[in-house]
């Protein structure tokens, strides 16, 4: 079990392990999200043409790109921590990490930092691939970084908790397919909330991922369905709360000793 003494070298080593783990399978972790985004763009490009997004007065193509990038970041941040932990549990090697002389906070920060790195790499690759297809602006860089990093921390933390909870790959697939995928797809990536009937607008606003994607998009376009500046403090607080929750659960060894 993790101890209270700090071990920066051990934390750095764990971070390097988690980073190199996803870099060794770049076709799956980096190239595949880029190809998926390109296919979405091709489909919606020909389906929507040169239409403007109702209520926002921006080209649909420009509206779509930030949403696709943020969706890929959130999904990859979740996948990085969850896949690492469930694979360790299935192979029964997670006990070595529990017994290592690394504090619970260092383990948490190493996992979350690796998730953020993976999300940022995916975002950069996607933007490099997608920018030639649209007129992409960086209106508020600080907002892009804030929502991108905080969103990755939040999803990396959820992935860490899911990895601790799951006992087999089927459990993880259930969370991914029935919770993470629907919430990210139905979060305003492909549409503006103003296009929905009043009832479904309220339902959409209950989706926490909606605010992450809308804030990230606002950083590119300078417009969105909400005022993400007002939600910045909530996003930061949510990232801190998820980090603390992961630290506490790991410190207790929640679901890791069964």
80 pLDDT higher than 90: yes
Please tell me the distance from the alpha carbon of residue 80 to that of residue 13, in angstroms, as a whole number: 16
Q: Is residue 146 exposed (0-12), middle (13-18) or buried (19+ Cβ within 10 Å)?
A: buried
Q: pLDDT tier at 258 (50, 70, 90 boundaries)?
A: low
Percent of the chain scoring above 70 in pLDDT: 97
Give the side-chain half-sphere CA count within 13 A for 171: 16
Distance CA 84, CA 81 (A): 5
pTM exceeding 0.95:
no
Instruction: With cut-offs at 50, 70 and 90, classify the pLDDT of residue 122.
Output: very high
In angstroms, what is the C-alpha Rg of the chain?
Answer: 19
What is the C-alpha to C-alpha distance for residues 160 and 142, in angstroms, rounded to an integer?
26
Tokens of 96: 């070595």
Q: Indicate the length of the chain as a whole number.
A: 258
């Amino acid at each position: 079990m993790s101890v209270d003494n700090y071990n920066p070298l051990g934390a750095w080593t764990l971070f390097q392990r988690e980073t190199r783990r996803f870099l060794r399978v770049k076709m799956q972790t980096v190239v595949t999200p880029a190809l998926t985004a390109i296919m979405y763009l091709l489909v919606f490009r020909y389906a929507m043409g040169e239409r403007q997004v109702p209520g926002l007065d921006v080209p649909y193509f420009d509206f779509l790109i930030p949403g696709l990038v943020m969706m890929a970041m959130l999904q990859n941040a979740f996948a990085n921590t969850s896949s690492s932990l469930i694979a360790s549990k299935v192979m029964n090697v997670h006990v070595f990490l529990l017994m290592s002389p690394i504090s619970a906070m260092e383990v948490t920060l190493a996992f979350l930092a690796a998730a953020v790195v993976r999300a940022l790499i995916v975002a950069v690759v996607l933007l490099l691939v997608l920018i030639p297809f649209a007129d992409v602006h960086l209106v508020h860089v600080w907002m892009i970084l804030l929502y991108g990093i905080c969103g990755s921390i939040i999803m990396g933390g959820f992935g860490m908790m899911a990895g601790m909870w799951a006992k087999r790959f089927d459990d993880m697939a259930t969370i991914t397919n029935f919770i993470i995928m629907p919430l990210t797809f139905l979060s305003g990536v492909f549409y503006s909330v103003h296009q929905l009937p009043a009832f479904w607008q309220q339902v959409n606003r209950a989706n926490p991922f909606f605010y992450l994607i809308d804030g990230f998009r606002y950083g590119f376009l300078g417009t969105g369905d909400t005022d993400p500046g007002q939600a910045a403090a909530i996003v930061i607080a949510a990232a801190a709360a998820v980090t603390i929750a992961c630290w506490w659960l790991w410190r207790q060894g929640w679901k890791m000793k069964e």
